[in-house]
Homo-oligomer: A and B are copies of this chain.
């Protein structure tokens, strides 16, 4: 059976672009409504991005944190999933152009999210990968593990120390979590794996342009996070502006230079390019300004949800976090239901359930329901909250095992280098592992 579409007037056709938290939530909330839902994503999987850094740091398999969108919606008979890339939206004609076709809609939900931004320095992308997709995470993992492999074979001290220096740019949740995980890889995971150097000598530098970490959280929590990172051996550099990045290291505004073969990018936000098709003003990050009910001005049938939307919340805007995406997806479903019934729509109100950032194996900082938490308790809360969010029983179980294993054995379960396994770096000494 194939859902009906816009030219069969009986059931309105709801097209949802993006199978992230916002899009999937909107789709599921419409399960019992007399509509045909089509979820379109250029990936076949829903990705649990809050845990992506665990894939990048070889603690989890990609399969642990991703679920096929198709199987999430398998039993929702009024929904279908299409693997396709939306290239343009014609609000007037109510048609979405795909990379190889087109699809009409009666109601549209644009939830194509955001990615990281290099703040105008796109050439940095090649040397300082960001973390948004499974491929990003596997690329980061490969770079991190290869740096250790190359260090095992490096002959001179300078090369080795550059290979064992990891720089994380940006001290938001992702940057903090990456830095913490990296510090532990050296301290525990790989401690006995190498022969020609001691991985505990690894250096992790967390670089932040602002004057504190986790600016979305309170100053107390920022300070706690910094303390916990320092305890793990992470060097925290605040108010440090990066002016250049190349394959040999990072240059700062004060002219100083940090030699590193592995720079990881965890800064900047750039909304999905589809936002520009929506005939609405966008903010500096490309997020789309929406009406109070998350629809587009002049287009009551089109909505924006998730990281792509620019919606006021208190004195700021709704943050680009999973709970906000889920809430907005839910709200859009209600708004569509109201429109179909000819009822007025309610304005979207974001409820901040709090946020948590984990720091290494056994610490975290955050606020939940108004209470500030830190340390081991926070870590357990973080753990429970994230597991609870995960879609799909198997993933939950397998992630729990991954973590338990990593926690009790200080080992990383998924230390696979895939893709280009060997890096032929000209700047490495002619690797002569033995004196033969």
Q: Which of A38, A430, A433 has most chain B Cβ within 10 Å?
A: A433
Chain A residues 54 to 92 lying within 8 A of chain B, measured CB to CB, are: 61-64, 66, 68, 70-71, 74-75, 80-85
Q: Is the CB of A1 within 8 A of B195?
A: yes
Complex formed: what's the CA distance from A402 to B68 in Å? 16
Chain B residue nearest in CB terms to A105: B436
Q: Is the CB of B102 within 8 A of A193?
A: no
Q: Is the CB of A415 within 8 A of B98?
A: no
Residues of B within 8 A of A138 (CB): 418
Complex formed: what's the CA distance from A207 to B196 in Å? 50
A386 CB–B CB distance under 8 Å: no
For chain A, which range describes its interface: under 10, 10 to 19, 20 to 34, or 35 or more residues?
35 or more
Residues of B within 8 A of A103 (CB): 432-434, 436
User: Given that A433-B38, A434-B13 are known contacts, is A416 also in contact with B74, CB under 8 Å in the complex?
Assistant: no
A419 CB–B CB distance under 8 Å: yes
Q: Is the CB of B80 within 8 A of A431?
A: no
A45 CB–B CB distance under 8 Å: yes
Q: Is the CB of A6 within 8 A of B436?
A: yes
Q: A421's contact among B6, B83, B409, by CB below 8 Å, is which?
A: B83
User: Given that A44-B145, A61-B62 are known contacts, is A99 also in contact with B422, CB under 8 Å in the complex?
Assistant: yes
Copies in the complex: 2
Residues of B within 8 A of A100 (CB): 424, 428, 430-431
A414 CB–B CB distance under 8 Å: yes
Complex formed: what's the CA distance from A81 to B196 in Å? 11
Residues of B within 8 A of A134 (CB): 416, 418
Q: Is the CB of B38 within 8 A of A434?
A: yes
Q: Is the CB of B71 within 8 A of A411?
A: yes
26 contacts between A and B (CB under 8 A): A3-B195, A5-B434, A13-B436, A42-B422, A44-B149, A44-B415, A63-B416, A68-B415, A70-B194, A74-B192, A83-B153, A84-B431, A84-B433, A85-B422, A99-B422, A99-B424, A100-B424, A100-B428, A101-B433, A134-B418, A135-B419, A138-B418, A394-B402, A398-B398, A398-B402, A398-B413
The 3 closest A-B pairs by CB, nearest first: A104-B436, A5-B434, A63-B414
